[in-house]
Amino acid sequence: MKNRKILLTEQEIPEKWYNIVHDMPNKPLPPLHPGTREPIGPEALAPLFPMELIKQEVTTEKWVDIPEEVRDVYKLWRPTPMYRAFGLEALLDTPAKIYYKYEGVSPSGSHKPNTAVAQAYYNKQEGVKRITTETGAGQWGSALSFACQHFGIECEVYMVKISYQQKPYRKVLMNTWGATVHASPTDLTEAGRKILAQDPDSPGSLGIAISEAVERAATDENTKYALGSVLNHVLMHQTVIGLEAVKQMEKAGEMPDIVVAPFGGGSNFAGISFPFLRLNLEEGRNIRCIAAEPASCPKLTRGVFRYDFGDTVGMTPLLPMYTLGHTFVPAPIHAGGLRYHGAGVVVSQLLKDKLIEARAHDQVECFEAGVLFARAEGILPAPETNHAIATAIQEARKCREEGVSRTILIHLCGHGHFDLAAYENYLSGNLEKHEITSEEIAAAIARIDTPAIR
Amino acid sequence: MKNRKILLTEQEIPEKWYNIVHDMPNKPLPPLHPGTREPIGPEALAPLFPMELIKQEVTTEKWVDIPEEVRDVYKLWRPTPMYRAFGLEALLDTPAKIYYKYEGVSPSGSHKPNTAVAQAYYNKQEGVKRITTETGAGQWGSALSFACQHFGIECEVYMVKISYQQKPYRKVLMNTWGATVHASPTDLTEAGRKILAQDPDSPGSLGIAISEAVERAATDENTKYALGSVLNHVLMHQTVIGLEAVKQMEKAGEMPDIVVAPFGGGSNFAGISFPFLRLNLEEGRNIRCIAAEPASCPKLTRGVFRYDFGDTVGMTPLLPMYTLGHTFVPAPIHAGGLRYHGAGVVVSQLLKDKLIEARAHDQVECFEAGVLFARAEGILPAPETNHAIATAIQEARKCREEGVSRTILIHLCGHGHFDLAAYENYLSGNLEKHEITSEEIAAAIARIDTPAIR
């Protein structure tokens, strides 16, 4: 009987992260100062991040060493398994070969600890006592809490108030790992107090939470800030996923024709796909890497390539990205991790250069795909993950229609054990599609007041 | 840097289950008819279980083949990893070497699928269309739903109404895997209607849910019943855990001095410990196997060895077991899987013969242990699992006091991602100890109306 899993040993955990910037035909454009709109250098980031992470943010070196201490923590769950999806193939009656790389085995149940551990480590090295961050539904906040706990750093999480109230469980997970969690807006920061003065009942937003976390770090010399996606160093840390996956596909004796991953800010898509894109760039292979995004937040498929702010308020540097505009408010879909107006700079440039593809799925299609996957393979995927499964199912059905066998690799970036309320919503027939009109998108984009990129 | 995990390949999934009955110096006493109180044979079980499982229930063969089809499903998550708990050892500053075997990687997050898959398979082989069962908090119900889904059998779960209302998430998991879940008592059965006639607002109980599930199976020829613990064949299916663990300890180059597991009905304790007890019985080793039970439901440490009913109502055969009496109502602790009045027959005989040990811990001590574990090792354990961790921590501290290094193996039988409300209760300081007085225990035992075993 055939093996379902392709496993690696702890010795096979990658020793270096892969930095795709080195191999990009067009390098990313520089960030601009939010006021002067002039290019800014790495020193502008010094109040927020430790020096080593700033270096990683701007380096064009192809490989960056993973410290032994970080690899040692990775061993708590890495290497993660790759599966051949025999059950899903049978259910779809497709000639496609489907594989999935499963990151849900991490302590917090998603891929997020890959960068959280690295970031906590470098902060610890530079004597940082406290890290602040923001979190929506809590995937990132819980990963950073785990990582900070491990290295003995205080972790302070600004959690969007409406999530704090509606989804108390992720908060409990963060507390269990010793983090302090605040319902944002708080009265602990200038930014929070300003919002509360205008609206004492504000439900909060990711943009406000970012402002609070950044302010805390900027105004306390022992405190730094950490981000869970978008930035170059964050995306690079996630490449351990794809580097393992390349080895696992080699062990399986084949290479994927298609790699699919959900897309929020870019970290989980980059994590699995960049090491395969390297093979395209280096060896002229033609592995299609598809980013699967929500139809209700379609920055890659319907947004513009433009300098825009990373936050809602407009405090961060301007970044060249595919965006729906920093004032765009995504519909309240269950895939909270994908509700972000913009895409990471590196991924945006790759899309601009047609080196990757993007596809959008509505929420109902995604849950349909997730339930089908759970029934075929046992694992219940996170709502974010369901987007990649929806793309994979489309491609597998296409293989059947065309009578062609292709090899599809899905990034199964997290389990859905914290998201059962969302599944209940779907199973009871109450899930909304949240479609978005061209007029709504045009209006959001029209509110961007930065110059277009030539 | 040292490895944290000891992994096996899919080829190393055991090919046979281990039946400890073969090696027991004193075989279990026979079950008695609930009415006549005369010993009954396997044929009495025929309306409820497929023939192959009945054979396994009474066999004294030492090894029972695991069908290829079952091993193939096991490959979705087995072999499960064993970890060296370097983080916990450091935090406790103990000379003890601590290992843990982690069953939380299964699709439903606990060890329960090991027997659910086997039971669903044999039912499928014998043409059964539908399986009924009961569930409290939902661990067992979700495992059986997953297994039935895999083999294309309908699954009907009677879930205790109060759990159904208070813990909707496990129900959603069962629904996702295609199961029908009823809030018990229902009006679908005679037993349920009788209860509802007396008390339309009955919150239900495991005893009532068992009666409903059993009645449905007994009155429909296409329907059988499945139980998640207590019975011999269920315990035997779980020995895949310990058989893998023995191999993993051998790979680590040592054998445990102490094996600890939580104790509810016996299936998870038996699963890890029986293959180590085999080494005691066969080779004269002296591996201490300790069952960790809740202080609020202390059948092993404070109960009596006595014939008693498996259910509350008194419909099942009388079984020779350590029990607090079948009318005993355990306190509402968060470790729902351990709230059962009696212990499986085989485990009871082993305890009677002093071949295993038992220890009780109150709920607060258990959550303290669980949080400490999560901070040291990353994994958040299930409330049931915390009982074993509490015992292990006691033993590790004893090693420190005595300046002795012993090797301790913990059965980490499930993750706590579905139990965050329980952790919140603990972290906010609102958790009750639920101590039980000797008078309460004496009163519950006095209500048992069967003759004592000589």
Residue-level pLDDT at B150: 97
| Chain B contact for A33 (CB, 8 A cutoff) | no
How far is it, in rounded angstroms, from Cα A260 to Cα A359? Answer: 10
Q: Which of B407, B154, B201, B394 has the alpha carbon at shortest distance from B286?
A: B407
Of B75, B76, B423, the CB nearest to A172: B423
Q: Which two tokens stand for residue A15?
A: 């020793």
The partner residue sitting opposite B176, judged by closest CB among A7, A68, A374, is A374
Q: Does B60 touch chain A (CB under 8 A)?
A: no
A264 token code pair = 């929020």
**DSSP, res A409:** E
What is the model's pLDDT at position B166? 81
* CA-to-CA dists, residue B41 to B30, B46, B123, B146, B317, angstroms: 8, 10, 20, 31, 11
Chain B residue numbers with beta carbons less than 8 Å from the beta carbon of A167 are none
* Residue (of B369, B301, B303) closest to B335 by Cα position: B369
A264: in domain: yes
- The reported pLDDT for the residue numbered B454 is 67
> Has residue B183 been placed in a domain?
no
Closest alpha carbon within chain A to B422: A172
Residue tagged 């308020």 (tokens): A313
The answer to the question of residue B197 being in a domain is no
Residue A313: pLDDT above 90? Answer: no
- ipTM of the complex model: 0.95
* Contact residues, chain B, for A385 at CB < 8 Å: none
Backbone angles phi, psi at A48, to 5 degrees: -100, -35
A101: tokens are 């790389």
Does the distance separating the beta carbons of B427 and A375 come in below 8 Å?
no
Question: Among partner residues A146, A169, A175, which is closest to B427 by beta-carbon distance?
Answer: A175
The residue type at A9: T
Which residues of chain A does B107 touch, with a Cβ-Cβ cutoff of 8 Å?
374, 378-380
Question: What whole-number distance in Å separates Cα of residue A32 and Cα of residue B53?
Answer: 70
Q: Which amino acid is at B208?
A: I
Interface check for B63 against chain A (CB to CB < 8 A): the answer is no
Q: Does A146 touch chain B (CB under 8 A)?
A: yes
Residue matched to tokens 């991924």: A347
Output phi, psi for B413, to 5 deg: -80, -10
Report d(CA A155, CA A171) in Å as an integer: 12
3-class DSSP state of B5: strand
Residue with tokens 């055991």: B14
> In chain A, whose CA is at the least distance from the CA of B4?
A75
**CATH number, domain containing residue A387:** 3.40.50.1100
Cβ–Cβ gap A175/B10 under 8 Å: no
Q: Tell me, what DSSP letter sits at residue B189? A: S
Residue A100 DSSP one-character state: E
- Give the best residue of A417, A418, A430 to mutate against chain B (max B CB count within 10 A): A417
Domain that holds residue B80: 5-10+68-109+233-446
Mean pLDDT of chain A: 95
Does A278 map to a domain? yes
pLDDT of residue A454: 67
Q: What is the pLDDT of residues A393-404, one digit of tens each?
A: 999 999 999 999
Which residue's structure tokens are 């309320």? A421
Does B377 touch chain A if contact means CB atoms closer than 8 Å?
Answer: yes
Q: Do B172 and A417 touch (CB under 8 A)?
A: no
B376 and A CB contact within 8 Å:
no
Write down the pLDDT at residue A178. Answer: 97
Nearest neighbour of B75 by CB, restricted to A4, A175, A417? A4
Residues 316-375 of A with CB under 8 A from B: 371, 374-375
pLDDT digits (tens, 9 = 90+) for A97-123: 999 999 999 999 999 999 999 999 999
| CA atoms of A145 and A175, how far apart (whole Å) | 8
Size of interface A-B (CB pairs under 8 A): 119
Task: Please give the full DSSP string across B56-122, using - where no structure is assigned.
Answer: HHH---SEEEPPHHHHHHHTTTPSPPEEE-HHHHHHHT-S-EEEEEE-TTSTTSBSTHHHHHHHHHH
Cα angle vertex A100, ends A237, B108, to 5°? 100
At A380, which amino acid appears? L
* Cβ–Cβ gap B375/A178 under 8 Å: yes
CA atoms of B94 and B210, how far apart (whole Å) = 44
CA nearest to B116, candidates B265, B274, B228: B228
Residue among B166, B169, B426 with most chain A CBs within 10 A, to mutate: B169
**Residue pair B414/B103 in contact by the 8 Å Cβ criterion:** yes
Q: What HEC string does B248-294 produce?
A: HHHHHCCCCCEEEEECCCCHHHHHHHHHHHHHHHHHCCCCEEEEEEE
Residue-by-residue DSSP string for A334-350: S-GGG--SB--HHHHHH
Chain A residues whose beta carbon lies within 8 Å of the beta carbon of residue B172:
420-421, 423-424, 427
Strands (E), B352-444: 357-361, 407-412
Per-residue CA distances from A448 to A58, A230, A319, A344, B41 (Å): 26, 19, 12, 17, 79
CA distance A228 to A251: 31
Q: What is the mean pLDDT of each run of 10 residues along chain B (454 residues)?
A: 93 98 96 91 91 96 98 98 98 98 97 98 98 93 98 96 86 97 95 93 87 93 95 97 98 97 96 98 97 96 94 85 91 87 96 98 97 97 97 98 98 95 94 91 90 72
pLDDT tens string A404-414:
999 999 999 99
**Does residue A196 fall inside a structural domain?**
no
Q: C-alpha distances in angstroms, A381 versus A370, A385, B19, B170?
A: 6, 6, 36, 15
Residue A208 has pLDDT above 90, yes or no: no
3-state DSSP percent of chain B in helix, strand and coil, to 5: 45, 20, 40
Residue B380 lies in a domain: yes
Task: Write out A206-253 in H/E/C secondary structure.
Answer: HHHHHHHHHHHHHCCCCEEECCCCCCHHHHHHCHHHHHHHHHHHHHHC
Number of structural domains found in chain A: 1
Query: Do the Cβ atoms of A228 and A234 come closer than 8 Å?
Result: yes
Smallest Cβ–Cβ distance between A177 and the set B72, B178, B375 belongs to B375
* DSSP 3-state of A82: strand
Residue A387 scores a pLDDT above 80: yes
The residue written with tokens 């029990």 in the block is B323
Q: H/E element holding A400?
A: helix A383-402
- Is the model more confident about B332 or about A276? A276
Which is more confident, A435 or B80? Answer: B80
| Chain B contact for A285 (CB, 8 A cutoff) | no
As a whole-number percent, the residues of chain A with pLDDT over 90 amount to 85
With CA atoms as reference, the chain B residue closest to A90 would be B150
B140 belongs to a structural domain: no
Question: Does A376 reach chain B within 8 Å, measured CB to CB?
Answer: no
Q: Tell me which residue in B76, B146, B424 faces A172 most closely, judged by beta carbons.
A: B424
Q: What is residue B312's predicted lDDT score, i.e. its pLDDT?
A: 77
Contact assignment for A417 to B420 by CB distance below 8 Å: no
**For residue A451, is it within any domain?**
no
Q: Does A84 touch chain B (CB under 8 A)?
A: no
> What SS3 class is residue A388?
helix
Residue-level pLDDT at A52: 97
Sign of CA pseudo-dihedral A219, A222, A228, A233: positive
Positive or negative, the CA dihedral A41, A45, A50, A53 is negative
